[in-house]
Amino acid sequence: MIQDLLKHQIAAAIKHLYQIDLLDHQIVIENTKPEFEGDFTYVVFSILKQSKKSPEQTAQEIGEYLKINFSHLADFNVIKGFLNISLSKQFWFEFLNNTYANKDYGFVFTHSGQKILVEYSSPNTNKPLHLGHIRNNLLGYSVAQILKANGHQVNTCNLVNDRGIHICKSMYAWMQFGNGETPESAGLKGDHLVGKYYVAFDKKYKQEIAALVANGMPAEEAEKKAPAIIAAQQLLLKWEANDKETVDNWKLMNGWVYDGFAVTYKKLGVQFDKYYYESNTYILGKDIVQQGLATETFFKKEDGSVWIDLTNDGLDQKLLLRGDGTSVYITQDIGTAELKYKDFDCERSVYVVGNEQDYHFKVLQLICKRMHKPYAEGIYHLSYGMVELPHGRMKSREGTVVDADDLIDEMIATATATTIELGKANGIPEGELNHLYETIGMGALKYYLLKVDPKKKMMFNPEESIDFQGNTGPFIQYTHARIKSILRNTGEIDFTQFDFNQTNLSKPERALLFTIYQYPQAIFDAGKDMSPGVICNYAYDLAKAFNHFYHECSVLKEENLEQRNFRIQLVNLTAHIIKSSFGLLGIEVPEKM
């Protein structure tokens, strides 16, 4: 990129003028602030001690050197110790000509040599996906696409939490109160039906606790002795003992849930290279725990439970197997980590999981290190903040979640009403309208959830997300549709027949070109930080730059043919990059709106 050449020339200037030896990477250049003239800025304060001159004079001398020795420089200006550098018109025209036909602009196709596995979604089979799962799925999918764009070999997987006490709670409630109800007889998606019984269990459990407490039992003891929880625990033991009736019911109910999940995943546009299931991986995890016992990496307590002592690492002791031999979450994660490495030989294993599991993944990595696993260093927890609603946190067992399916339907309905109200659907053929409404609704949802830094918790407001103004998905989608409308009226153009060096380059045109130029850096930064929000902010900046350009510069009515065709080429490239950047986010862009 031109920044590398510029850094090299600035280092040469400093060497020539002040006999200071600096490596190129020691030179820091920034984008020039919008209120000043220029493309890039070099701040000279760090070399004043050696230059022995004022900030203004030092910057002026470096600028004069660059004007003679750096062919891409058009001009420079100095504001205190800030050297603002403007690149030549010829550089920008060559950049546009070289980039215009590159449909993969910004992507790295030289393999980095790094294999990365991204695990995301990780649902429980006792309830439908909810709003928090939507953020997880969108993050995981987008991060995988961004990492691929950075030249890494990327695979994705989904670890399904299909066993454990929470699953047994839904099973127990259905066995007690279900009367053979099925998704077909209930008219419900399978995951919603099973979630209904998870809520029913919690209601029954709380009633039993209240009754025991009313009879004088302490609340903490009542929580352990309530008949419902004891029955669920017994179901778990039966399942691990491979009791036929228990396993048959488990397969039946999980099958319903998988069918329901498949529908939701399709709506979200996400998919996985491989599925892992706790019901398989926990067995390998238990074997590895036994290996750790044999090497005294782990220890056993009097009740037969197995632990690891992490107090020297600033943590505490962690349970790996219960006294009755049943496994815990960390057991299956140990097994899954082993399987993932064997299947994909990945240097990095990214876990997209909420920040309430920060401690869990610190423990997992420490366990793998203690076991001298080759993949231990590559374990990376992409921790993200919870999604909250105006009325507080969601709780599945109390039935206060926002189901993913309901939210998706609501977003599409709101997009439909808003698009019609604003006249954005006028002139669209009837057969294309439903797809347009779905594109806008899902675009609004995805963009709203992805634009926030993953580490931050967020408040979700559906009404704010569907807005055709401001930092929203629909605003950027509308910008793309507007560009496509322009391009439909240009006809076929052979851009090789024109010498754009004879055209002018206005400030809005230059600003749009400069924003386009930043796309590869945005992809790199998003991959480095594993933050789709970087791409969201870039796409928003690009849409703003285009709209300012379009307000200031006529395209179709421009009388100068070369100027007109230069702008058409610029507009076309802008549309491509909006579509490309939104593709990294898993968002469609409409051709018409």
> What confidence score (pLDDT) does residue 397 get?
43
Q: How confident is the prediction along the chain (593 residues), in pLDDT tens digits per residue?
A: 899 999 999 999 999 999 999 999 999 999 999 889 999 999 999 999 999 999 999 999 999 999 999 999 999 999 999 999 999 998 999 899 889 888 899 999 888 889 999 999 999 999 999 988 999 999 999 999 999 999 999 999 999 999 889 999 999 999 999 999 999 999 999 999 999 999 999 999 999 999 999 999 999 999 999 999 999 999 999 998 999 999 999 999 999 999 999 999 999 999 999 999 999 998 999 999 999 999 999 999 999 999 999 999 999 999 999 998 888 889 999 999 999 999 999 999 999 999 999 999 999 999 999 999 999 999 999 999 988 766 544 444 444 567 899 889 999 999 999 999 988 888 888 889 999 999 999 999 999 999 999 998 888 877 788 888 899 999 999 999 999 999 998 877 766 656 666 778 899 999 999 999 999 999 999 999 999 999 999 999 999 999 999 999 999 998 888 889 899 999 999 999 999 999 999 999 999 98
Q: Which fold has domain 409-584?
A: Isoleucyl-tRNA Synthetase; Domain 1 (1.10.730)
Task: Please give the CATH superfamily to which domain 120-398 belongs.
Answer: HUPs (3.40.50.620)
The CATH code of domain 2-87 reads: 3.30.1360.70
Residue 395 pLDDT: 47
Tokens of 338: 């082993």
How many C-beta atoms lie closer than 10 Å to residue 179's C-beta?
7
CA 491, CA 551: separation in Å to the nearest integer?
Answer: 22
Distance of alpha carbon 291 from alpha carbon 298, whole angstroms: 9
At residue 496, the pLDDT reads 65
Specify the domain boundaries for CATH 3.40.50.620 within the chain. 120-398
Q: Rounded to whole angstroms, how far apart are CA atoms 488 and 585?
A: 26
Q: Where in the chain is the domain with CATH 1.10.730.10?
A: 409-584
* Alpha-carbon distance values, 19 to 22, 25, 270, 414 (Å): 10, 17, 56, 65
pLDDT of residue 160: 96
Predicted local distance difference test score (pLDDT) of residue 524: 97
Please give the pLDDT value at position 400.
54
CA 462 – CA 417 distance, rounded (Å): 13
CATH 3.30.1360.70 residue window(s) in the chain = 2-87
